[in-house]
Structure 1
């Protein structure tokens, strides 16, 4: 009914949102579809290939496929995609707003000179492993910023932290002053020294959490969940640590590691070891941060390339 009422000239589908009925109905309505920022992990490829001709019909229904990487393009072509081009990853063009980065720097001033690491976008079951890592980390006065991926789990994670006998502060209850001078004038304390875990229970502030940290661990990767996007942390210039399970971000992880922007760890014990080494080696940490920023900058441009393709298709409709 939507296609009949609105008669769109073109449809854009993102990454892996491949719905057979949508593709079939657009084909009937003569609406060209483009799969943009397309990715296909080795794991997903094996599953999709089991459906044989059915899979080839689905992916063959796209007019164009704009892949993130050569390996994505190769797998998508093998599944029946036509007119496949490699344009890069759109996520490299997503930059945290300067005001958000400035907010994170303000938080860091309010935190003080303590070693700070952020565990970002953690998933169910991972917070236990992150706290296990924290317990094994022998770095005095270290602060963990723990940011669960799903907001409905904020209270659950807060309860877990307190059960583990860590002193907790929640971002939603902590309003740091802009400067130490402002703190003194207003009588507002900086983050108390006895707080060991700051829970990131806010939305839309991930760039600020990264900007407040010395090191970033990217969640979804200590358990077989596929990992999360490490690009935003790299763009802020923060050294990245990531676990072994990154099948949703295989190429980005491999490229970041090869660029010296990230380290991949095997388990919580290995994560604790890597954190300890980097906290005690500032020159290496600074070099990794610079490599991370350069890596993110070097891979930008996919948005403009995608727009060029879309404009050409729209003009042909």
Structure 2
């Protein structure tokens, strides 16, 4: 009964969601493209070309392994798992679904033609059936915290195992889910295995009806610093950034960049040679950030235009995709964005940590509070609550290379100590594949 009500509400709101997505496409064509996929008319994309799903697999290939990662952060978190699956299961094609174009772009930049991409359809029974008819996956791996009752029910009916990998759920979310206990208990009680990040996450999943729950840890800790990014960062440092104190503000948002620029102006008062590398989170904001920097009369260079930097350049705008790790590698100090504004909840602290960079972060880190707390308790990261505090921390670290090195070493040690979730998750996959009706 509850799922019927849920489904009826989805049918009411699905046309609105489609219209909103189409309207977003006026500013960002990526939202307008591939709208039929939102209703389960799925086409698999590899690079710039698309193929109908039945042509993706050759006659001797095994059914695909399917990973769902809702957007950029989840795609990045899934990267170690994707690479392990490509190595261990070459007989299976690998499909990654996302809900956002930025997630799709991140899939392409990380994996290129090694994987294929589609958008996850809305959780409508007909859309879900069309999607699964076309894809026919042998296993569904859902990253972190997505629960879709109709999709999960249809997977159970078809005997497609679901693995919630590196699963997390906040106390607040668990309380909300409990109010609809019958709906989510039904979704999680069938063919779903929950590989939780922490014991607290495991207990919360059990409280909303999950039956098969294990604690495997957070696969994000299995991150490795890409050698190509490290080398590119070293080259940048030796050439374009030589001799300058450099701090990177990664994955930034509107409302936050203004505070970052204010902090940078304070830094420039004492270190006029300092450079801020500004990396906005969403590509559809690049033009707006360009316009804003111009209106502020900032001497900046744009990465996408290969504009050369002079001594007068105070900001480098990275308006390209997939280069954040390179600039973390080239910098003295990393600020991780999404944390100075209350609506986002922070982004991935482990990326600069694995590159042994000292980390500064704002007060809002509810997306991964355990990691943020661990980093700050161990001295790998510092919290700043304002532009003035951020500027003071940057200036202090600029003058103390020993402190920078110690913070970076502590961050790397935390990553190294917590690795192992990937192996534990991989050990769950083979038994699930053997139980699948499509294997």
Q: TM-score, normalised by structure 2?
A: 0.65
User: 1:260 — aligned with what?
Assistant: 379
Residue 4 to residue 172, structure 1, CA distance change in 2 (3 Å): closer
Is the 2:161–2:433 Cα contact (8 Å) retained in structure 1?
no
Q: Work out the CA distance in 2 between the residues paired with 1:112 and 1:212.
A: 10
Query: Which structure ranks higher in relative contact order (CA pairs < 8 Å, sequence separation ≥ 6)?
Result: 1
| Deviation of the 1:7 alpha carbon | 5.0
SS at match of 1:111: coil
Is the 1:136–1:272 Cα contact (8 Å) retained in structure 2?
yes
Q: Work out the CA distance in 2 between the residues paired with 1:270 and 1:62.
A: 49
Is the 2:149–2:184 Cα contact (8 Å) retained in structure 1?
no
In the TM superposition, 1:281-296 aligns within 5 A as: 281-296=400-415
Unmatched tracts of structure 2, length 5 or more: 1-128
User: 2:244 — aligned with what?
Assistant: 114
Q: Work out the CA distance in 1 between the residues paired with 2:191 and 2:373.
A: 28
Greater CA drift, 44-53 or 66-75: 44-53
1:183-202 CA distance string (max 9 Å, x none):
xxxxxxx7311100000111
Unmatched tracts of structure 1, length 5 or more: 176-189
Report the count of equivalent residues.
303
Q: Note if 1:193 corresponds to 2:311.
A: yes
Q: Note if 1:102 corresponds to 2:231.
A: yes
C-alpha RMSD of matched pairs (Å): 2.0
Greater CA drift, 39-48 or 124-133: 39-48
Q: Note if 1:58 corresponds to 2:183.
A: no
User: 1:179 — aligned with what?
Assistant: none
Residue 273 to residue 43, structure 1, CA distance change in 2 (3 Å): farther
In the TM superposition, 1:31-70 aligns within 5 A as: 31-70=160-199
Q: Work out the CA distance in 1 between the residues paired with 2:173 and 2:404.
A: 35
The counterpart of 1:124, out of the listed 251, 254, 276, is 254
In the TM superposition, 1:67-86 aligns within 5 A as: 67-86=196-215
User: 1:162 — aligned with what?
Assistant: 294
SS at match of 1:165: coil
1:44-77 CA distance string (max 9 Å, x none):
3343333233233333345210011222222222
1:110-152 CA distance string (max 9 Å, x none):
2122111100001122111211221233441211000001111
Q: TM-score, normalised by structure 1?
A: 0.89
